[in-house]
């Protein structure tokens, strides 16, 4: 991609996100799960499928959240978009590049009072399959995972992308659905906990789709 276009993408994405926010009717389902964690002053990890991350720049705008974003060139554009929409810097790294730096950055974010967001099937898939990294982080950091998803009645699905990435479109209905928090104890089996998270994300995603159908 031409460097000038890469520079412009976060600004255009922010403007588009603002337009979507102004023209979309949003419903929140089981927001009390997040509310209870906030009332208890408990930091947590948002977990959501990679294909649905675009709408979180709309639904969670202004939220105190820092996203874990890969160190790829495309990741740089996403990180800048998140910064403009959510007002905080993203943590850069993945299981293959900068993993130790990412863990340190996530710990710093949590200790400063910022929740973090992770796409457990990203950055390259397989689609809707949990990688155990998010479970390891929850276990190491001692914070719960909050499953969350979204769906829109008007959207563009990029079927040639590995995750069938979804781009919300204006003048529609949207829903954000939360699942119950998942706690990972120091002796828990990470594979079993990953399976629990997948069941939760799959279930709330099906629910979200039904609500906008």
- Walk along the chain (213 residues) and give the pLDDT tens digit of each residue: 556 666 677 788 889 999 999 999 999 999 999 999 999 999 999 999 999 999 998 999 888 788 877 666 566 667 777 777 766 667 766 555 546 777 788 888 888 888 999 999 988 899 999 998 899 989 988 999 999 999 999 999 999 999 999 999 999 999 999 999 999 999 999 999 999 999 999 999 999 999 999
The whole-number pLDDT of residue 2 equals 57
Q: DSSP states of 77-101 as a string? A: HHHHHHHHHHSSPPEE--SSSSHHH
How much is the pLDDT for 24? Answer: 97
Hey, what are 61's tokens? 């705008």
Report the predicted TM-score, pTM, of the whole model to 2 decimal places: 0.89
**For residue 7, what is the DSSP state?**
H
Domains located in the chain, CATH noted: 3-212 (3.40.1130)
Count of other CB atoms within 10 angstroms of residue 72? 14
DSSP character at residue 41: T
Instruction: List CB contacts of 67: < 8 A, sequence separation 6 or more.
Output: 53, 78, 79, 82, 86, 90, 91, 116, 117, 118
Q: Compute the distance between CA of residue 148 and CA of residue 119 in angstroms, rounded to an integer.
A: 10
What is the DSSP secondary structure assignment for residue 175, as one 8-state letter? E
Q: Residue 46: its pLDDT value, please?
A: 96
Q: Can you read off the two tokens belonging to residue 211?
A: 């609500």
197 Cβ neighbours under 8 A, 6+ residues apart? 47, 120, 130, 134, 135, 145, 147, 182
Q: Collect all residues with Cβ–Cβ distance below 8 Å to 118 and sequence separation of at least 6.
A: 45, 46, 47, 67, 68, 133, 134, 137
Q: Tell me how far CA of residue 203 lies from CA of 8, 61, 178, in angstroms.
A: 37, 25, 10
User: Are the beta carbons of 71 and 94 closer than 8 angstroms?
Assistant: yes
The answer to whether the beta carbons of residues 117 and 65 sit under 8 Å apart is yes
Q: Alpha-carbon distance 185 to 23, whole Å?
A: 42
């Amino acid at each position: 991609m031409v460097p000038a276009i890469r520079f412009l993408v976060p600004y255009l994405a922010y403007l588009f996100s603002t337009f979507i926010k102004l023209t979309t009717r949003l419903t929140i389902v089981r927001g009390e799960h997040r509310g209870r964690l906030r009332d208890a002053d408990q930091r947590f990890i948002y977990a959501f499928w990679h294909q649905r991350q675009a709408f979180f720049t709309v639904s969670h705008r202004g939220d105190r959240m820092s996203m874990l974003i890969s160190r790829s060139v495309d990741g740089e554009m996403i990180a800048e978009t998140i910064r403009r929409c959510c007002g905080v810097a993203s943590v850069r790294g993945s299981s293959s590049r900068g993993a130790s730096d990412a863990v340190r950055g996530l710990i710093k974010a949590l200790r400063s009072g910022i929740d973090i967001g992770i796409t457990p099937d990203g950055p390259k898939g397989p689609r809707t399959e949990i990688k155990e990294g998010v479970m390891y982080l929850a276990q190491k950091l001692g914070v719960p995972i909050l499953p969350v998803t979204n769906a829109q009645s008007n959207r563009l699905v990029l079927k040639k992308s590995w995750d069938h990435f979804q781009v919300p479109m204006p003048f529609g209905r949207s829903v954000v659905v939360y699942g119950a928090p998942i706690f990972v104890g120091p002796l828990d089996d990470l594979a079993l906990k990953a399976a629990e998270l997948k069941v939760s994300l799959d279930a709330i995603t099906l629910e979200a789709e039904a609500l906008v159908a």
